[in-house]
A and B are shown apart, each in its own frame.
Chain A
């Protein structure tokens, strides 16, 4: 069995989630839009799930719109908001380490809809500089979209401070919370956010389900048209088993969060410290403390990430890399470049993301083979950089 350290890519479905979903495939298969008892039972299951989630998010059920993925939620949030609020201004603000779902959506709006986009720089840890955010807001600004926690380097943004700045300037605030939801506070009142995107596949729920929280008074327009489901904001027959599974997954995450977060932070720091101590010429990417409990992102100088991954894979260890060779483009990760790493270091960054099935034994297995892998690849490599060469 492999040691899976790629939980930020996706998680397995929790057995309890699978169980909760099971009856909504062949036994309770109704369309909640049907005016009959079968449909009604489906509608009840959906309403119950929406209610459960609204309790977790501390909002009303009508503020939750189910979608098909985190990416779709983000598209609905940004495109839907801009469509509905173009008359108020034509400027939106985001930042460089966002997921492609945000960056490409903004890119689209800039190219096709003539919207002005400001993409803020981040500091060396990946944090948005609050004073720069405030400076970037103009009379034309209608929306700020900044992620809660980064998928690659795990940096957690100062969401409350950002939402206060937005409130002060009467600008709406969207956050992509897909990576954060399993580990951090997602009480929307406490955080003060207007729009929040979540998905199921990062928190032991099914893939193919997401939701957008839209605060009452934050007007958005649909981007998918049809039968008018989800308060007219997302047409298409509701995916009842996945909605039920998503609610169950969020419920479990919420209930077990405290225990799991403590456990993961211990494992995470154990892994980070051991790598940094035992393998020379390595450093941690992302913020040392304002960081997701399950994220470890390390740069290994003189070696290329894909080669490390393939070697680890032979030992049954699954991780991911910011190297150009694993991306569709030929450039290293935009996140790694945004935090100011030079190209020669960006190719050797590896992300380990821990999760429910990660044990100390698994981490120890990784720690046992990793120095050998890096040592071997450094023997193959003609490059000999020092930490100083890359500004560390």
Chain B
């Protein structure tokens, strides 16, 4: 299957599930710009992305002494999928009394996607920044509480599940001058076996291009 097939296989790409729509139109735990939010009440704050690459998320966490997330507030620049994904993520980490941060760190975009009853294939990449922002906020909590050893260094997340290629590998390929998916694939073999990662890899390439070459 070539790239064109991957992109065009999802003919229903405009159709969102009712859950996605619900979270888009009635986002949970959102911090509106006008909301007075006491930064000092939160002990884990993280932000990823930039408007130039189409998505930016900010996450504010309130983590208690048992390392349970009691509050997860957020703001998001992005499309409907990105907004709904972040909203759902905030629900997942705070429902039933809150999630332990060790469990929250293991949340995958796939888990969010499942709870949203599925994003259109083409929009799956829109959900990846949510868990990155959550991770950044948890890392911030570790930093604030002096647990530097627990900080997860960004860039070690496996994207290609078959060849075990991480976003760090993609970053290095881009830094090495690979500026298209084809070139990155030549260097890393990413997406040859595990085609499900292609949208995410494309997103990463764009992200790193923006980060290093603009």
Contact = CB atoms under 8 A, between A and B. Distances in A.
B152 interface: no
A331 B51 contact: no
Contacts, number: 85
A380 interface: yes
Contact of B202 (A302, A303, A330, A344): A330
A328 interface: yes
Majority secondary structure of chain A interface residues (helix, strand, loop or mixed): loop
Contacts of B58: 382
Contact of A383 (B77, B80, B202): B77
A316 to B, nearest CB: 15
B113 interface: no
B30 A330 contact: no
Contacts of B83: 307, 380
A381 interface: yes
Given A314-B25, A382-B58, A328 B7 contact: yes
B75 A381 contact: yes
Interface residues of B, number: 39
B8 A328 contact: yes
Contacts of B75: 380-382
Nearest to B52: A343
B78 interface: yes
A302 B51 contact: yes
A303 B55 CA distance: 10
A205 B160 CA distance: 48
A304 interface: yes
Interface in B120-178: 122-123, 125-126
A358 B21 CA distance: 28
A280 interface: no
Contacts of A307: 24, 78-80, 83
A381 B33 contact: yes
B54 A323 contact: yes
B68 interface: no
B20 to A, nearest CB: 10
A43 interface: no
Contacts of A238: none
A387 interface: no
Contacts of A324: 54
Interface in B46-87: 47, 50-58, 75-83
A303 to B, nearest CB: 7
Nearest to B122: A328
Interface in B1-56: 7-8, 16, 24-25, 27, 30, 32-34, 47, 50-56
B187 interface: no
Interface residues of A, number: 29
A325 interface: yes
Nearest to B74: A382
A381 B74 CA distance: 9
A385 B52 CA distance: 11
Contacts of A302: 51, 77
Interface in A173-227: none
B206 interface: yes
A330 B54 contact: yes
Interface string A317-348: 00000011100111110000000001110010
B185 interface: no
A392 to B, nearest CB: 15
A379 interface: yes
B54 A347 contact: yes
A383 B47 CA distance: 11
A97 B32 CA distance: 37
A302 B53 CA distance: 12
Contacts of A331: 206
Given A380-B30, A382-B77, 19 more contacts: A302-B51, A302-B77, A304-B54, A307-B80, A310-B80, A324-B54, A325-B78, A325-B126, A330-B54, A379-B34, A380-B32, A380-B77, A381-B33, A381-B75, A381-B77, A382-B56, A382-B75, A382-B76, A384-B33
